[in-house]
Amino acid sequence: MDKPKIAVYKYSSCAGCQLQFINIESELTDLLGHIHISYFKEATSLEEDPPYDIGFIEGSVTCPHEEEKVKKAREDCKVVVALGACACEGCVNTLKNYHDLNDVVSRVYPHPEYIHTYEQAHGIDHFIKVDAYLHGCPVNRLELRELIVSVLIGKKPYLRPHAVCAECKINENECLIQTEKALCLGSVTRGGCNAVCTTNGRPCFGCRGPNEDANPEALVEIFKRDGHPLDEIKRRFLYFSGDTPVFRKGAEACV
Amino acid sequence: MEKDAVILLKSKVRHWLDLLLEKYVVCAPVKNKADYKFTELEPGMEPCLSYTRTLIPPKKYLHPQQETLFSYKRTDGMEAQLPEFEKKTVVLGVHPCDARAIQIYDVVFGGDLPDIYYWHRRKNTIIVAISCTEPDENCFCMSFSDCGPTLDKKGYDLLLTDLGDRYVMEAGSLEGSMLIQHPGLFDRVTDADIQAKGRALEIAKLRVRSKIPDIKGLPAFLERHYEHDVWAKEAKKCVSCGACTMTCPTCFCYHMEDFNRFNLSEGERVRIWDSCQLFDFAEVAMGENFRRDREARLKWRIYHKLAYWPEQFGTLGCTGCGRCAHYCMADIDMTRSMAEIRGESIYA
């Protein structure tokens, strides 16, 4: 069998997720023994024409130009993987969704008239069919490996579908909500990150999007009990994954 | 009895610990931010033996959060490499509720198909228990006839009881008695010490609320009230984080996974703690899920421990340590739910 051809694309994003490919470091040469990189601008100047077997797409879609490109990428790739929070949920790019576009654009650019952008940013599945999701800001390297290796050997990848809290407790962390009344979204956020933020004493911002069967209304009640102002709770829900139904439900429960 | 019981003055504890550290890995509770954490003692590190509870019970030394069962490598055939096990470990300062939980674990991981990983660690583990004189409002060990703030002859290698300026130490096994054989370090137990121990335990008993009356009738009581409104009410508050099960000293469920390397010829089979509170726990092929509803999951934990466990393992699956209530961010407390079913006034 020929080695599968891989393409890595980038839309509105910081490039941190594709960097995780390169961060594999010690195992990178092993990986290159089993895949062929056809298109990956951050890693190589080599560019081969489509079709590709697997396309990893980083970044959200925020403008007409990106919508065109992401649709072309879908046509060019047999399998499409949303790589990281921007591609999966839109991430912080969706913050503009809750503000007047002119106001947002003129805050950043001296000549807003040159900017052609949508009112709202979205993850790529708003525009195309996605076959697999790798969540996180950035994606977790072990999950990246698990996905690629599982595809190569034909096994279902183990990507934690449940809350960050499971790994947080496994790491023996005292709950930040209980000890510091923190605005921690771990209980509604998908794990797989090894609870990296909470283990280092920072509350979860929900960058990995909702876990399966999350209960955002219950978490809002907990935040209210702890005396957090409603607008702060709402802002926290809209921060990274506000463009998902679950986190929006959380934001809407802040009344 | 006399030979197997001694007094250790608190001023000599450090010396005793240093002697233990020469021979064993010693793990004991140390202060964490809000609570305590069982930690491997480095030389000079001070354990805290007067504590309420640790977030994660000492079960982690017998059934670790994550453990590699074996690693494999594809050569011409298949090579498997079993992990090496740790050296003899003294787990110091185990509360009676957690020591009883280890006895329950022995049944769960024993039986016709004993778990070799568990038993290898178990046989390498010396349990130094300590009578609990620091219960709090979440403790309810007194609900169970064979529980309470101390242990009776079973479940420990050595049992300590804090008598203010000294510990009385009683051996429960040969291995335990080996820990108190250093000449000159220990004093003889006097009648006054025995009386002091009795008093300390009486005071501790008074401080633990029973919370669950009629344990014998509990399975039938729970079955009768399976559809009670209180469960739906609590499920609405539950975020399914799994803290109640991760911190439970008798919860034993794990998930198994093969993690393969990029070279596609090497990997590891790993088991990781799992939780019945998580949505994917009871999911099987084709997406069928036996406990899709949060309420079903919330009830499963409680019903398994208190209604189904006796039939499965011949004991109850709870020792009243209070962690599930204490570490619930949503303030769900099964003893309070049961009181509500009984129509009692609810204590906070």
- DSSP H/E element including B160: strand B158-162
CATH number at residue A72: 3.40.50.700
Q: Do B262 and A148 touch (CB under 8 A)?
A: yes
* Domain shared by A134 and A174, yes or no: no
Percent of chain B scored above 70 by pLDDT? 98
Q: Which domain holds residue B262?
A: 215-342
pLDDT at B1 over 50: no
**Contact in structure between B63 and B118 (CB atoms under 8 Å):** yes
Last residue of a domain, one of A153, A174, A196: A153
Residues in B closer than 8 angstroms to A174, CB to CB, are: 32-35, 55
Q: What is the mean pLDDT of chain A?
A: 95
In a domain, residue B291? The reply is: yes
pTM for the full model? Answer: 0.94
B329 domain-assigned: yes
Is B347 within the bounds of a domain?
no
The number of folded domains in chain B is 2
Is the pLDDT at B346 greater than 80? The verdict is: no
Most confidently modeled range among A31-40, A66-75, B146-155, B257-266: A66-75
Q: Report the C-alpha gap between A220 and A216 in whole angstroms.
A: 6
Task: Say whether both A22 and A130 belong to one domain.
Answer: yes
Is residue A178 within 8 angstroms of chain B, CB to CB?
A: yes
- The torsion angles phi and psi of B21, rounded to 5 degrees, stand at -65, -25
* Residue A66 within a domain: yes
Of A165, A172, A218, the CB nearest to B242: A165
pLDDT at B78: 82
Which residue shows structure tokens 């017998």? B62
pLDDT of residue B198 exceeding 60: yes
B246, B261, B329: residue with CB nearest A166:
B246
CA-CA-CA-CA torsion sign (A18, A20, A23, A26): negative
Distance CA A212, CA A133 (A): 13
Q: Are B57 and B323 in contact (CB under 8 A)?
A: yes
- Confirm whether A53 is domain-assigned: yes
Helix, strand, coil percentages for chain A (3-state, nearest 5): 45, 15, 40
Token digits for B116?
């070799």
- A202 and A141 co-located in one domain: no
User: What is the predicted pLDDT for the residue at B345?
Assistant: 67
Range with the lowest mean pLDDT among A6-15, A23-32, A192-201? A23-32
Q: What is the pLDDT of residue A76?
A: 98
A168/A230 same-domain check: yes
B82 or B203: which leads in pLDDT: B203
Above 90 in pLDDT, residue B13?
yes
Give mean pLDDT, residues A161-188: 97
* In a shared domain, residues B326 and B241: yes
CA nearest A9: which of A38, A40, A32? A40
Task: Return the closest-CA partner of residue B234 out of B307, B301, B290, B281.
Answer: B301
Closest CA relative to residue B93, chosen from B153, B19, B13, B173: B13
Q: Are residues A118 and A223 in the same domain?
A: no
A159 in any annotated domain: no
- Are residue A96 and residue A171 in the same domain, yes or no? no
Pairing of strands B25-31, B89-94: parallel
Determine, yes or no, domain membership for B63.
yes
DSSP 8-state class, residue B307: I
Is the model's pLDDT at B348 over the cut of 60? Answer: no
The pLDDT value recorded for residue B233 is 96
Q: Per the structure block, which two tokens stand in for A96?
A: 């503009």
Residue A107 and residue A215 share a domain:
no
- pLDDT score for B215: 85
Q: Is residue B57 part of a domain?
A: yes
B98, B190: one domain: yes
| Statement to judge: residues B172 and B257 lie in one domain | no
- Co-location of A68 and A22 in the same domain: yes
Per-residue pLDDT tens over the stretch A28-56:
889 999 999 999 999 999 999 999 999 99
Residues A111 and A196 in one domain: no
C-alpha–C-alpha distance, residues B218 and B312, integer Å: 15
Q: Examine the domain organization and report whether B230 and B185 are in the same domain.
A: no
Q: Summarize pLDDT for B35-71 with one digit per residue, the tens.
A: 999 999 998 899 999 999 999 999 999 999 999 999 9
Of A150, A155, A213, the CB nearest to B240: A213
What lies within 8 Å, CB to CB, of B222 at 6+ separation is: B302, B303, B306, B307, B338
Q: Which of B39, B233, B262, B331 to mutate to test the interface with A (most CBs of A within 10 A)?
A: B262
B107 shares a domain with B183? yes
Is the residue at A158 inside a domain?
Answer: no
pLDDT digits (tens, 9 = 90+) for A64-123: 999 999 999 999 999 999 999 999 999 999 999 999 999 999 998 999 999 999 999 999
Quote the ipTM score. Answer: 0.93
B185 and B233 fall within a common domain: no
Q: How many CB atoms lie within 10 A of CB A129?
A: 8
Q: B150 lies in a domain?
A: yes
A residues 8-47 closer than 8 Å to B (CB): 24, 27-28, 30-31, 33-34
pLDDT surpassing 90 at residue B83? no
Tokens linked to B46: 């001070």
B272 to chain A, any CB pair closer than 8 A? The answer is: yes
**What chain B residue is nearest to A212 in terms of C-alpha separation?**
B279
- In-domain check, residue A178: yes
Span B193-199, average pLDDT: 95
Using a pLDDT cut of 90, give the percent of chain B over it: 78
Instruction: Return phi, psi of residue A220, to 5°.
Output: -60, -40
- For residue B2, the model assigns a pLDDT of 41
pLDDT at position B111, please? 86
Q: Which of A140, A153, A159, A170 to mutate to test the interface with B (most CBs of B within 10 A)?
A: A170
Name residues whose C-beta falls within 8 Å of residue B162's C-beta, 6 or more positions apart in sequence.
B49, B50, B130, B131, B133, B200
Task: Please tell me whether residues B165 and B225 are part of one structural domain.
Answer: no
| Main-chain dihedrals φ then ψ at residue B72, nearest 5 degrees | -135, 160
B97's CB contacts (< 8 A; 6+ apart) are B132, B139, B141, B147, B249, B319, B320, B321
In terms of domains, do B285 and B202 share one? Answer: no
Chain A residues whose CB is inside 8 A of the B239 CB are 163, 165, 187-188, 214-215, 218-219, 222
Q: Are residue A87 and residue A127 in the same domain, yes or no?
A: yes
**What percentage of chain A has pLDDT greater than the value 90?**
92
Residue A226 C-alpha, separation from nearest chain B C-alpha, in angstroms: 11
**Edge-to-edge strands of the sheet including B66-74?**
B78-81, B66-74, B266-273, B254-260
Q: Which domain holds residue A208?
A: 164-252
Q: Give yes or no for B273 touching A (CB within 8 A).
A: yes
Whether A39 is covered by a domain: the verdict is: yes
Other C-beta atoms lying within 10 Å of the C-beta of residue B14: 11
Q: How many Å lie between the alpha carbon of B65 and the closest alpha carbon of chain A? A: 6
- Looking at the structure, do residues A179 and A217 belong to the same domain, yes or no? yes
More confident residue, B47 or B209: B47
Is B47 part of any domain? Answer: yes
β partners of residue A122: A61
pLDDT tens per residue across span B305-336: 999 999 899 889 999 999 999 999 999 999 99
Among B154, B189, B207, the domain-final residue is B207
Which of B207, B230, B259 is the last residue in one of the domains?
B207
Confidence of residue B240 (pLDDT cuts 50, 70, 90): very high
Is residue B97 scored above 70 in pLDDT?
yes
Residue B129 has pLDDT above 50, yes or no: yes
Q: Which of residues 189-248 of B touch A (CB under 8 A)?
A: 236-243, 246-247
* Residue A246 token pair: 């679950």
Q: Are residues B114 and B249 in the same domain?
A: no
**DSSP 3-state assignment of A2?**
coil
Whether residue B173 sits in one domain with residue B280: no
Strands A77-83 and B266-273 turn out to be: unpaired
Phi, then psi, of B290 in degrees rounded to 5:
-75, -25
- Residue B136 included in any domain: yes
Same domain, B199 and B249: no
| A144 and A212 together in one domain | no
φ and ψ of B131, to 5 deg: -55, 145
Note whether B45 and B30 are within 8 A (CB): yes
Q: How many CB pairs under 8 A join A and B?
A: 115
Indicate the number of domains in chain A.
2
Same domain flag for B179 and B244: no
